[in-house]
């Protein structure tokens, strides 16, 4: 693989991030909602108190956050601060910075949603590969129908069913939360805390896995059926190779390539799936933070979470392009 290809791919990544960041900047402003005014209106509704000089206070905060400037100047300030790694200060939790809020919420999302995505990919791809293999047992192929049903059910509906039957009725697992607040004052590095967090994460992880595993299984099954008629599979069978070798090295290895691409794109849906699931289970992750920022019109937190998601998806796609030749020897980037 030529270094020039990696350089071109990296420059394309920068272009994609810049384009997405530009779109992300202008979308919240299409609503023409003043976030400062909305924040004070919310405080007034909840407390019943309104300062006499409210307009002066709103103007002072607009100057503080740069919202009094023209839109083009706000955009240039935003892009320059992003290049410096400064994502600004949160409007809803002032004076905390966006970096502080994201750093507190990100570990919960990484632990829950990223690990769940990888497990769903491995389980679904394995089941789909076996379901599409003609020599698999009948009970494996029969799993396709229930997986199709689960793939049509949203994760939050499955979460409600799991909460009711497993947590509420059977009382086997906690109803909500990331850890037992009566036992721990906050996150800590201990075996008891890790076990407690794992116990709270079972139901959220299970709802996400059940809702997504059918997608991966059906995709892998469809690609496996297509690969079965390829010449290299037929040639391997005529050579008398062992069925296990044909299955792994000729069938799965070629059918899994679109799945790997979908895996990189799936990381972009982590936040969107986590908004409902994390709020349903009370997990203090990126999804819950983004939902609160949207309700409070906190532009800076929305921008920060959006930038992290954009960069994660872009880097994932770049890594997939670089790793493709390792998965499929037919792919070469050094050819003219």
pLDDT, average across residues 299-309: 82
Residue 2's pLDDT is what? Answer: 67
Residue 51's pLDDT is what? Answer: 67
Residue 77's pLDDT is what? Answer: 82
The answer to whether the beta carbons of residues 221 and 256 sit under 8 Å apart is no
For CA atoms 323, 328, 331, 332, the dihedral sign is: positive
The region that residue 34 occupies, defined by phi over 0 for left and psi between -120 and 50 for alpha, beta otherwise, is beta
Architecture of domain 99-327: Orthogonal Bundle (1.10)
Q: What is the mean pLDDT of the chain?
A: 78
Chain-centre distance for alpha carbon 302: 15
pLDDT band at 66 (very low <50, low <70, confident <90, very high): confident
Residue 285's pLDDT is what? Answer: 82
pLDDT, average across residues 221-231: 78
Cα(66)–Cα(69) distance, integer angstroms: 6
Three-state secondary structure of the chain: CCHHHHHHHHHHHHHHHHHHHHHHHHCHHHHCCCHHHHHHHHHHHHHCCCCCCHHHHHHHHHHHCCCCCCHHHHHHHHHHHHHCCCCCECCCCCCCEHHHHHHHHHHHHHHHHHHHHHHHHHHHHHHHHHHHCCCCCHHHHCCHHHHHHHHCCCHHHHHHHHHHHHHHHCCCCCCCCCCCCCCCCCCCCCHHHHHHHHHHHHHHHHHHHHHHHHHHHHHHHHHHHHHHCCHHHHHHHHCCCCHHHHHHHHHHHHHCHHHHHHHHHHHHHHHHHHHHHHHHHCCCCHHHHHHHHHHCCCHHHHHHHHHHHHHHHHHHHHHHHHHHHHHCCCCCCCCC
Taking alpha carbons only, the member of 99, 108, 163, 110 closest to residue 284 is 108
CB count within 10 Å of CB 12 equals 14
Cα(60)–Cα(56) distance, integer angstroms: 6
Return the domain boundaries, the chain: 3-83, 99-327
Residue 328's pLDDT is what? Answer: 63
Cα(286)–Cα(278) distance, integer angstroms: 8
Cα(7)–Cα(13) distance, integer angstroms: 10
Residue 138's pLDDT is what? Answer: 76
145 half-sphere exposure, CB direction, 13 A CA radius:
4
Taking alpha carbons only, the member of 185, 285, 280 closest to residue 193 is 185
List phi, psi (to 5°) of 88: 90, -170
The region that residue 16 occupies, defined by phi over 0 for left and psi between -120 and 50 for alpha, beta otherwise, is alpha
Residue 118's pLDDT is what? Answer: 84
pLDDT, average across residues 48-64: 72
Residue 330's pLDDT is what? Answer: 63
Residue 180's pLDDT is what? Answer: 80
Residue 146's pLDDT is what? Answer: 84
Cα(89)–Cα(93) distance, integer angstroms: 8
Question: Is the pLDDT reported for residue 171 higher than 70?
Answer: yes
């Amino acid at each position: 693989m030529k270094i020039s290809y990696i350089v071109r791919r990296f420059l394309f990544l920068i272009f994609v991030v810049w384009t997405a960041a530009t779109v992300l900047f202008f979308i919240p402003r299409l609503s023409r909602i003043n976030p400062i005014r909305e924040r004070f209106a919310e405080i007034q509704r909840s407390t019943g108190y309104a300062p006499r000089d409210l307009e002066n206070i709103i103007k002072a905060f607009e100057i503080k956050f740069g919202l009094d400037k023209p839109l083009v100047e706000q955009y240039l300030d935003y892009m320059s601060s992003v290049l410096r790694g400064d994502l600004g200060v949160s409007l809803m939790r002032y004076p905390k910075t966006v970096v502080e809020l994201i750093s507190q919420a990100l570990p919960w999302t990484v632990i829950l949603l990223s690990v769940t995505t990888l497990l769903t990919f491995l389980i679904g791809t394995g089941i789909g590969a076996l379901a599409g293999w003609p020599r698999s047992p009948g009970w494996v192929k029969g799993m396709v129908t229930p997986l199709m049903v689960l793939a049509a059910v949203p994760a939050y509906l499955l979460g409600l069913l799991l909460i009711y039957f497993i947590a509420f009725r059977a009382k086997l697992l906690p109803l909500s939360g990331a850890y037992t607040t009566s036992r721990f004052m906050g996150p800590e590095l201990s075996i008891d805390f890790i076990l407690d967090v794992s116990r709270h994460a079972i139901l959220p992880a299970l709802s996400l896995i059940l809702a997504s595993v059918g997608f991966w299984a059906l995709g892998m099954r469809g690609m496996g059926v297509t690969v079965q008629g390829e010449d290299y599979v037929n040639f391997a069978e005529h050579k008398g190779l062992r069925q296990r070798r044909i299955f792994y090295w000729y069938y799965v290895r070629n059918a899994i390539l679109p799945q790997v691409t979908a895996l990189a794109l799936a990381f972009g849906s982590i936040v969107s799936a986590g908004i409902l699931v994390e709020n349903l289970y009370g997990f203090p992750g990126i999804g819950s933070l983004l939902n609160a920022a949207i309700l409070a019109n906190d532009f800076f937190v929305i921008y920060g979470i959006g930038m992290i998601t954009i960069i994660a998806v872009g880097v994932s796609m770049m890594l997939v392009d670089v790793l493709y030749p390792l998965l499929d020897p037919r792919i070469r980037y050094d050819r003219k």
